[in-house]
Amino acid sequence: MIRTIDPQAAKALVHSGKEMAFLDIREAGQFGEGHPLFAVPCHYSRLEQEVVRLVPQTDVPLLLIDDGDGIAKTAADRLAGLGYVDIAIVAGGAPGWRRAGFTLFKGVNVPSKTLGELAEHQWRPDVVAPERLVEWTDADAVSLFDARPPGEFAKMHVPGAICLPNGELAHRLAALGLPDDKPIVVGCAGRTRGIVGAIGLKLMGHAGPVYALENGTQGWALAGFDLERGVAAEPFVPLDEASRTASRQLAAGFLDRWSIPVVSSDQVRDLLADPARTTFAFDVRSEAEAVADPLAFASHAPSGQLVQATDQYVGVRHARLLLCDDLGARAGLAAFWLRQLGYEPLVALIDSGLRAVENRHAPKPSPAFAPTAVDARAALDTIHSGTARLIDLRESRAYRESHVEGAIWAMRARLEQAIAEDRRRIFLVADDDAVLAGAARDLTGFGRADSAVVGGGHQALLDAGAREVASPSIPSDDEAIDFLRFVHDRHDGNLDASRQYLAWEMGLVAQLDEAERREFRLADPDRVRNRPPA
């Protein structure tokens, strides 16, 4: 069933407390310029591939929002073809949402970042300014950790920081052998992960002083200090048996103190087989551990990133989340925060029984669409003959830097307009097979079944002799809806962008309406049972 509902009814559905998926099918640039708080990005360019991962149960109600351009109806038809049975479209799209008086939030991962701001208000973690951190560092009086993943750490970090993402720091703390009285500082690129990391470390029972670095690497740069760039993270410190015992004990106390359920492998099987609920299973260990000791039924999502970017992993509000971990600290911390985002997290400790759980209930991939392929040399000859047109579906920035002369840039959502006045045969290139398949499927629906994808893509055409050109201003910024422009260069030295970003982040809570604020189920620091150990 596909229906259109007004923004008021859509908002009521979002706040119903029931499982539902609010999918924003616009592209990354459009999404980042403003979206409803709990809308999950599911770009139309990769719709069929992304939706089965984000919404594995086809009976979960879907709510789609577009830019008021009608693409949601096309997307709904595609989703119905995949077996989704309850699909609603927000009338008027994102512009209609705003006209109804509801807020569109800029940025990405906004619920998680809003939780970080709320947590700071709730827990009041100690914060250290960059200038004071410099004094401590010069005196070797501090241990500085970066709570981001290794890839982000390598891009830029405060000099002297050690990469130990949230979850990993608490898990590996005993292995570091730090003096209890030596302050620990947790930082990130901005605010959220530093705040969440510092709070989590104290709640896990660390007795020494813990601080969040004020405004992370951006605060550091704004204070006039240089960042270290292009230096890879060291491997995470390994745990010996004593450190494993310490991590296990910290985790057990934390899970009990915060009443976080721990389930057995038999219970995991039952939960995964339960058709009445959506259950996601995640391996929250480090990437190296997940690769070396894979769980057939679980996707890898590092503990800290699952909290920081939940909407990139989970598309269903109020879903059940199985968090798999060897000793429990990483899963426990993730569960603590994810519960406050409105999910139902459970911890599963990895043992032989859990390793034996099979992948019987994995999301079914969307039906394969096999577009016709054409050799690059043959495609180029046909294009030169004037009987075919080349559509370049790569990222707009890649097109600006290099494309085949005569190729036009387009995105799947605007493909019909791009070819409307051209009856020549269409050839497609892209860097993503999912994008190619989706666009080719749509072309067939437009009556252009003679379209084909170029084998080997853009590079194959260049190798076949195509003339390469650049167009720094084409597509225009307005046309390049795939690129998130919102303070995009804040990590590349644009201090004004950093100031704008930090002001945006600190202003998130003030943008919440009452219904949105109620969705955050904050833990209560004053509950005696839930106080961290002395």
User: For residue 70, what pLDDT is reported?
Assistant: 97
User: For residue 370, what pLDDT is reported?
Assistant: 80
What does the alpha-carbon distance between residue 258 and residue 205 come to, in Å, rounded to a whole number? Answer: 13
- Find the mean pLDDT for residues 237-266: 98
Yes or no: say if 112 and 310 are a contact pair by the CB < 8 Å rule: yes
What does the alpha-carbon distance between residue 27 and residue 482 come to, in Å, rounded to a whole number? Answer: 5
Report the phi/psi class of residue 456: left, alpha or beta, with left for phi > 0 and alpha for psi in -120 to 50: left
Residues 6+ apart with CB under 8 A from 384: none
Q: What Å distances lie between residue 248 and 118, 167, 206, 251, 323, CA to CA?
A: 29, 13, 14, 5, 15
**What does pLDDT average to over the chain?**
96
Identify residue 119 by its one-letter amino acid code. A
Q: Which helix (H) or strand (E) holds 399?
A: helix 396-401
pLDDT above 50: residue 255: yes
pTM above 0.75, yes or no: yes
- Find the mean pLDDT for residues 20-49: 98
pLDDT in tens, 392-420: 999 999 999 999 999 999 999 999 999 98
Q: HSE-up of 398 (CA within 13 Å, CB side)? A: 16
Yes or no: say if 370 and 359 are a contact pair by the CB < 8 Å rule: no
User: Which CATH fold would you assign to the domain 373-469?
Assistant: Oxidized Rhodanese; domain 1 (3.40.250)
Supply 466's token pair. 């195509």
Number of separate helices (H) and strands (E) present in the chain: 25, 22
Other residues' Cβ atoms within 10 Å of the Cβ of residue 217 = 29
Q: State the DSSP string of 159-171.
A: TT-EE--TTHHHH
- Residue 384's closest CA among 471, 466, 459, 470? 466
pLDDT above 90: residue 8: yes
Supply 66's token pair. 């577009």
What does the alpha-carbon distance between residue 54 and residue 227 come to, in Å, rounded to a whole number? Answer: 36
Q: In this prediction, what percent of the chain has a pLDDT beyond 90?
A: 93
Identify residue 495 by its one-letter amino acid code. L
- Residue 280's closest CA among 272, 290, 288? 272
Residue 486: pLDDT band with limits 50, 70, 90: confident
What does the alpha-carbon distance between residue 251 and residue 333 come to, in Å, rounded to a whole number? Answer: 9
pLDDT above 80: residue 531: no
Residue 369: pLDDT band with limits 50, 70, 90: confident
- Find the mean pLDDT for residues 126-138: 98
Alpha-carbon dihedral 25, 28, 31, 37, rounded to 10 degrees: 90
pLDDT in tens, 447-473: 998 999 999 999 999 999 999 999 999
pLDDT in tens, 336-349: 999 999 999 999 99
Judged by average pLDDT, the poorest of 21-30, 288-297, 370-379 is 370-379
The strand order across the sheet containing 162-163 reads 126-128, 210-213, 184-187, 143-146, 162-163
**Class of domain 248-355 as given by CATH:** alpha beta
- Find the mean pLDDT for residues 167-174: 98
Can you identify the CATH homologous superfamily of domain 113-233+519-525? Rhodanese-like domain (3.40.250.10)
Domain with CATH 3.40.250.10 in the chain: 2-107, 113-233+519-525, 248-355, 373-469
pLDDT above 60: residue 239: yes
What does the alpha-carbon distance between residue 295 and residue 348 come to, in Å, rounded to a whole number? Answer: 12
User: For residue 527, what pLDDT is reported?
Assistant: 57
CATH code, residues 2-107: 3.40.250.10
pLDDT above 60: residue 389: yes
More confident residue, 370 or 96: 96
Residue 368: pLDDT band with limits 50, 70, 90: low
